[in-house]
Structure 1
Amino acid sequence: MSDRVMNVAELVAIDVHTHAEVARDGHGSLSSELFGASEEYFKAHGHRKPTIAETADYYRERKMAAVVFTVDAEHATGHRRIANEEVAESCAEHADVLIPFGSVDPWKGRAGAREARRLVEEHGVRGFKFHPSIQGIAPNDRTAYPLYEAIEELGVPALFHTGQTGIGAGVPGGGGIRLKYGDPMLVDDVAVDFPELRIILAHPSFPWQDEALAVATHKPYVYIDLSGWSPKYFPPQLVRYANTLLKDKVLFGSDYPVITPDRWLSDFDKLEIKPEVRPKILKDNAVRLLGLGGEQH
């Protein structure tokens, strides 16, 4: 634990989507086969996996904060996760710029729900990341419901990967990853069954962009993050909704390190976003959702 404290007023942006890809002992968040596929997909050959401390330095230099998480998909992949406790501890050492999210495999059922409570209450975790395609489970599978119930009671957000994924792209059978689990309409069921749960639909949700916009428009506590794509490739309806109906519910996210905030923000500058909406997307909406200004909404 450090004595660093986040000064929200001084931040220029909050990136709600960054990955802890390597543990202190060098263990990776994904198998080498799946990670190699992701690198190929994002044309990110040779990008070195930054440590959480290096991520903190990177964001501190840019006067930004970042949400950091890994993915627990032990059941489907057999690959040991990076420990949530390590992510939380490393973020606590850089509390001025890093916000820890946990990841608990939904297949862990009630044991997962107990872990989620412990992570929030004892380790300061501020939300949870799900990647249904990698975890091999539909978001609305009842196996996950004890975990969602705990997260809803804890009052922290659940972030779901939606749309296609670069993980497993080009590997025979996609490395066993089923794209259908990335359909945002499956998360709509979660929003119905857990009406107070704050949900973030991660990424422009190709090929289900319209579905994601419909869910976020219809369900008051469903948000969209813009990570994983350069803004110059955003579909026009996403830009239109971000400027209007969803201006208070769209969040800046990069997908660092596979996409850097430098690249993302450079392309975002060229996007036709209203001047009054830009600060909402880059920072204000995240401050409100994550309770960084004191209160959560």
Structure 2
Amino acid sequence: MSATAERALRKLVREYQDHNSSTVAELEAVPTPLAFSRFVAANRPVVIRDAGRETQVPALERWTDEYLVDKLAERELEVSVTPEGNADAIVDGVFVEPANVQMRLSQLLEKLREEQDKPVSTAPVYYVQTQNGNLDAEYLALLDDVGRDGPSFARKVFGEPPDVANVWIGGRRSKTSLHKDPYENIYMVARGTKTFTLLPPTEAYCLHERMFPHATCTFDPSTASFTVSRTTPPLSLPWIPVNPLLPDLASHPRYALARPLRVTLHEGDMLYLPALWFHFVEQDVGFGPGGRGTRAAIAVNWWYDMKHDGLLWATFGMIRRLTLAVDGREEDDGEE
């Protein structure tokens, strides 16, 4: 049975690759809702170059260091901090959540400047990545600069406002490990660049997902030291151990069958990242409006809840269950 299932999964991977492009589609102008809906219906990513400027998103002209610090008015912000920029990732066989600290934006910008000046091995990595709808909370003062509902072409196709909108602020060392989200995602870069490595839901078989012990990280600012503590009582959760930048094919041989897509977003570019697509994210820093300010990576995104009534959700669930069966596992309580 498992051998038959494995052959079927391998054929699925090949057939999808044979019938779809090996690159991410790019548009040079903001699409009409009809044109955009074709990408949504096909569950395929697309980059809209300079869409932020074409749709006149105010953040691209307003978000200088001085403006951001003034608008946030010395508010204490939640910022993740890690030794190497790998928040929410597998570290030494354990899934580790980052430490969190409270600081003002002016302090964060200073940390980002220090991070770029110090050796990679010594400076802690600070990153705003709360993912909890922070544009409706901590960063509410910036909401009018990007809009709560995202670009109109997306809003008209999805038919409802996004569940959450987030702002992301960090340096070049922060990376987001390979994962998926049950959301339709519109992502816009406001400063610096973001590079996405993307894999379609059909390649779940290639990614060797398994269960990992859960742990949290704590940070002592006085010594700049970190402590990792496993959750008590013990907790495990499913995660992907593959690093697409340096895949270990000896440990993860099925990744050799994957065909990752890579695309880099620059200031003002938008990416439609379809629901359930796996993504690994790197970033680099850039100056603010007018070529001034702290070199940083700043982005916003809007998450629209995916529809569960078509084929996508059920089909992905079947792919995942078949992959678990090939690995001799069944779906555990608490897993999707």
Give the TM-score category using the shorter length.
under 0.3
TM-score of the pair, normalised by structure 2: 0.22
- State which structure, 1 or 2, has the greater radius of gyration over its C-alpha atoms: 2
Compare relative contact order (CA 8 Å, sep 6+) and give the higher one, 1 or 2: 2
TM-score of the pair, normalised by structure 1: 0.23
Structure with the bigger percentage of strand: 2
Structure with the bigger percentage of helix: 1
